[in-house]
Amino acid sequence: MNSSLTINSIVSFAVAFLLLHFINEYSTAFAASYFGLKPIMYVHSIKYSAYDMWTPYNVKRVFLISGIMNLVLGIIFFRLFLSVKEKNKWYRIFFLWCSVVGLIMFLGKLLAVPFYEFKPDPPGHIAFGVVAAYKYLGLSVKWMIAGFSILLMIAGGLFFTYQFLRNAESKDQLKKGEFRRNFILKVILIPYLLGMVAVAATNFPNNIKTLIIYFFVGLLIIISSLIFSSRTIKVLLHKDEPQKLSYIGIGMLGVLIVFYLTFYSKGIGCKGYFDFLMCCNCKG
């Protein structure tokens, strides 16, 4: 198996996660700024400086928006994955990882619903937990939501099995269950593990709970795919296309890492960098 495929998958996952994490946090911060909460985004959390503006009405809307955004982006990126020609291997694996990461973040928020504890600046993975608390949902209902999210993870693994295998370079990689499991292992599971370690080591030292939740969700989806790949699956590949190392992906990852370590780590938003991206003077 071409090592470039594995390397491109690692880079694609890292880019997808960093990109969607920023979009996830930005959607929450923008909604908060619309309600006059004066947010500043940091790599590990969002800080709010106008706590007196919190109301049950705006809390539910601020923390609901990011989860909806995750799901919508997951669907959009999956449509992009389907629209890209098979010869453009890096774009396909990148859009597919973006779709998977969107689902991971959405299901991670559902899974974390029972674990919400009141804090002034709740982390991103607990967003649905905040909404559930302000909806006064009972603990049994919250655990039902978490259990349902686990079923969706397994179903997601089944759904993405075929999509993962469509990134193979040749039909020979897909002839037997052993080949398919080996492909999922080397091109999906290992890049996922290495990508999560890299993200945790460089960007999320203070946000470990969020990362653990997302890690568990993604791991369950991919292990489900690994198990389902043993079944007989007919994957249509138009022709064999060996993959080359993607310098576009490496460049995107470099730009994101620099962005995270400079502007993002120092604060983006009201009274921070790029405050024009927010609605800092709004009082919705």
pLDDT in tens, 106-161: 999 999 888 876 665 566 667 787 788 777 778 888 899 999 999 999 999 989 98
CA distance 188 to 123: 27
The candidate with the shortest Cα–Cα distance to 224, out of 132, 151, 115, is 151
Residue 186 has, within 13 A of its CA and on its CB side, a CA count of: 16
Question: Residues 202-258: pLDDT tens digits?
Answer: 655 567 778 888 899 999 999 998 888 877 666 555 555 556 777 788 888 888 888
Question: What is the pLDDT at residue 77?
Answer: 95
Lowest mean pLDDT, pick from 80-94, 139-153, 182-196: 80-94
Question: What is the pLDDT at residue 148?
Answer: 93
Residue 2 in contact with residue 86, Cβ under 8 Å? no
Q: Are strands 39-41 and 46-48 parallel, antiparallel or unpaired?
A: antiparallel
DSSP assignment letter at 269: E
CA distance 211 to 215: 6
CA distance 274 to 248: 26
The model carries a pTM of 0.88
Question: Residues 10-46: pLDDT tens digits?
Answer: 999 999 999 998 898 888 888 888 888 888 888 777 8
The candidate with the shortest Cα–Cα distance to 124, out of 206, 23, 210, is 210
209-248 burial string, b = 16+ CB within 10 Å, else e? ebbebbbbbbbbbbebbbebbeeeeebebeeebebeebee
